Structure 1
Amino acid sequence: MTHKVAVIGAGLAGLSCSSYLRRAGCFVEVFEQERVIGGRVATARNGLVAFDSGAQYLTARSDKFRAYINELVSAGYAARWDPKTTSGDTKGVQLHTWYVGTPGMSSIVRPLAESIRVHTGKKVHTLSRTDKGWMVWFEDQTSVGPFAAVAVAIPAPAARLLLGRVEGMVEALSRVRMLPTWAVMVRLAERTLPDQDVYSDMSEVLRWIARNSSKPGRSATGGGETIVIHASPNWSRETEDAEPEAVAEEIWGEVTRQLGLPPVTPQLMTAHLWRHGLVEQSLGESFIYSTHHRLGTAGDWCLGRLAEHAYESGQGLGKAIVGSLT
């Protein structure tokens, strides 16, 4: 009999877990609260303009993730990115090779979602167990199930709310600390940034500035350029409840001052808050899984803050689930 497994979250951890389960013969359904898949590896679109609003690039330090990245590159889903990190230099701050999804970061997860039923716009409210398995309840009070097992692959604070009644899980999840990050996306009619493509830790406000249109497979339609800016975690935490429009104006003003740009009005400027954008303190384990409950959780926050941590965490949880079902 094919086991049905529910995965909550269609980010890199959730889809990595789903892919492992599918290859093992499970029937997998993924439920994602956002309209698009990818989590922090998603590609944001404003009209025809695309931005990498979350993860800016990937590195591959483990053999397992390097093999996956190599597959993506061979299939055209990813490419190496060699930005100018100091004037005229492409190697200023790169200790490892940087890779990006093409034509957007969300391409990183697309192969993982193949042959899997992914439901977007479905926010899970509650998990309940019956004698036949797990039921997944949504905010509109509808439900699906039963499932033989459930994988929860969302940020730790959100996972804690879903898994609160499972003995031992809340204590472990409470150790994880995550920080907010404001992302500001800007479209300029003319090329305005200096020659450099990437700037990091420019001030107490600015953590990252990148010429998004310098990445492989991107171009600013009609000339000009697209820029992605990440605010520092501390500034983001202090302004967490601010209006996005006000945040965008302030961040762009800070970029203009720090880089000495001429006064220019962006054609397009939006801000998005990643409420759990960065991992401050990780769990220190690859994943959490209760064989008794057939319930577990995974994410980059289990091991660190890198995309490959999310990938490996999802693979590990998938393997644990398969082991408990066979």
Structure 2
Amino acid sequence: MRLLVTGGAGFIGSNFVHQSVRERPDLRVTVLDALTYAGDESSLAPVGDAVTLVHGDVADAPLVDRLVAEADVVVHFAAESHNDNSLSDPWPFVQTNVVGTYTLLEAVRRHGTRYHHISTDEVYGDLELDDPAKFTPETPYNPSSPYSSTKAASDLLVRAWVRSFGVQATISNCSNNYGPFQHVEKFIPRQITNVLDGVRPKLYGTGENVRDWIHVEDHNTAVWAIIERGHIGDTYLIGADGEVDNKTVVELILELMGESPDAYDHVNDRPGHDMRYAIDATKLREELGWTPRYGSFRDGLAATVDWYRANEGWWRPQKDATEAKYAQLGR
């Protein structure tokens, strides 16, 4: 199989490439990545001999057409994904998430290539803390930020191309990922690396916001289940029953790292901060037989702490610039 992975030098994409090379040695893997701040070529170094890396933009139609023509399956991870950045400058999110997805869809349409679209649970908006409901594939879209609205737009493009043009596509909407190779601007690696630097972690607002956490390896096993067994045109929600509020996450990180669980600071909440996400992954589990490898959030988080301890050479170059940006925002 010839596999094209967009955004394959980013967090989830690079983990997908690692896992795919490790578990499917018959694959020929090409990665297309713009290598912005969120895409790091060093994330692919351990599998560099098994991967062809193309430095380019997912919205570059001639380049995308050439690469799609050479692929049997396209997995589209490439996205601008940081909410804070979308609030300060929405345009890159429109360009990558909407125009980039359109460009890929037109290419897979021309070449009849199987396509899987990676999306987020944030397209559904948020839930009240005391609401027993969870997101399902039938939940109406209600995005609240430039990031989530552009991802919602990209999902709707995929659905339209399936219905209008018969594109062989599936969609997955996943809850919050954590694990190796995640940029230190993100919540969990930022707190871990702060502790490693002797800096008190930062918690937005009161920390009551709830996210449904899943280890990136579990996300990617689910993606392969959908590629191999999913029904064309369907949407699958990926989650591992990992609902935890942000305050608890920070306190657990501190505990796992041998620090007092109250050794953190509150900072101003960000605008439009969604309260709760929760995934109902029944369809994925029952139709495709998927189950997560990590039995608990605590186990996955402990493994993640260990990875950042052991890989300072990977995250250190990102750290100072990230914290300088947050300092300007007062966060």
Q: Is TM (by shorter chain) over 0.5?
A: no
- Relative to total residues, which structure has the larger strand share, 1 or 2? 1
Bigger Rg, which one: 1
- Relative to total residues, which structure has the larger helix share, 1 or 2? 2
Larger relative contact order (Cα-Cα within 8 Å, sequence gap ≥ 6):
1
